[in-house]
Amino acid sequence: MPIRYIKAAPTTYVIQFQDGKVRREGPGLSFLYWVPTTTMVAVPLASADVPFAFNEVTQDFQAVTLQGQLTYRVADPKRLASLLDYSIAPSGKHLSNDPEKLEERLVQVAQVRARTVVQGMGLREVLGHSEVVEGQVLAALGASEAIRMLGVEVMGFSLLSVRPTPEMSRALEAEAREGLQRRADEAVYDRRNAAVEQERRIKESELSTELAVEEKRRQIREAQMAADIAVEEQRGALMERWSQNERQAADARAYALEKVLAPVRSMDWKTLLAANGGGSDPKLNIALAFREMAENAHKIGELNMSPELLSGLMGPAQREPRSEPHSEPRTRGNR
């Protein structure tokens, strides 16, 4: 049929050309048109994701693979339709492959901007700071004149993976593994050193405690010795005082005895004995008689004593009964 009906989605910008002039344009239009004299252009306005993967070389001449996706949308559909062919057939399909070329151009521009960024960074920096690469490439795409002329706005540039070559990956893995092992060994050594340090602190604390205990014991011994010395000093003072008191008491007794004996010092002992009442004791008298005989033994020629006399001197318990009569001692002197 020469007459067709078109109904576009809200995210599709439709332009109707008839006899070389624009009859209608706008997003989401629906209308009838005469096919033989009408050219329909449909430019999608919705955002689209374009995957990419390209290889670049870093500042230190190491190959790296960047893989991700580019998000864009058409900001000026009339400009884009003037540069690329977005005409559609009555069936709704595009008549050319220019819409696919748009994505290729965007990926090429993104690759050029990514190459500039990656070549200014080292491999480790690229692998460890992919967000820096994303930010710089996105800023470069936003300021790109080629993309602005296409009427396209780049909404996002995301890196899903950044991979070095397999050989470099293994080398980095080995280096990282050795670094982790070294840090693990250092952690073990630090733990051992900490344990040794803690043990040393414990030993020092124990030694300090022992020294403090010994110091306290020494102070206790010194206090005990000082107490003993004080006790001995007090005991010495007591003994000295006691000796002084004893000397004074002895001097007093000697003085009293001296005063008592002074009157009788020149008297005969016999007189003193008689004055003391010793003459009333027969045994004492016999003893005095024997003493006088002993003093005059050179004058006595013969001395006879009866057993009764001796038993009387020895006491009642040792006296043996005798039938002989008592006899007085008899002396015979040399005349």
Q: What is the pLDDT of residue 225?
A: 92
DSSP string for 198-242: HHHHHHHHHHHHHHHHHHHHHHHHHHHHHHHHHHHHHHHHHHHHH
Q: What is the pLDDT of residue 30?
A: 87
- Picking from 25, 24, 26, 23, the residue whose alpha carbon sits closest to that of residue 10 is 26
Q: What is the pLDDT of residue 174?
A: 86
Strand, helix or coil for residue 305: coil
Q: What is the pLDDT of residue 296?
A: 73
**Can you give the length of the chain in residues?**
335
Report pTM.
0.53
Residue in the block written with tokens 């010994």: 214
CB 12 within 8 A of CB 45: yes
Q: What is the pLDDT of residue 64?
A: 92
Q: What is the pLDDT of residue 332?
A: 46
Residue type, 46: A
CB 106 within 8 A of CB 115: no
Give the integer Cα–Cα distance in Å for 68 and 162.
Answer: 9
> Which tens digits make up the pLDDT trace of 23-38?
889 998 888 888 888 8
C-alpha neighbours within 13 Å on the C-beta side of residue 66: 30
Q: What is the pLDDT of residue 317?
A: 47
Q: What is the pLDDT of residue 315?
A: 61
- Picking from 1, 29, 32, the residue whose alpha carbon sits closest to that of residue 15 is 29
- Return the beta strands (E) in the chain as ranges: 3-7, 12-18, 21-27, 30-34, 38-44, 48-57, 63-74, 87-88, 152-164, 300-304, 330-333
> Which of the residues in the chain have pLDDT under 50?
317-320, 322-335
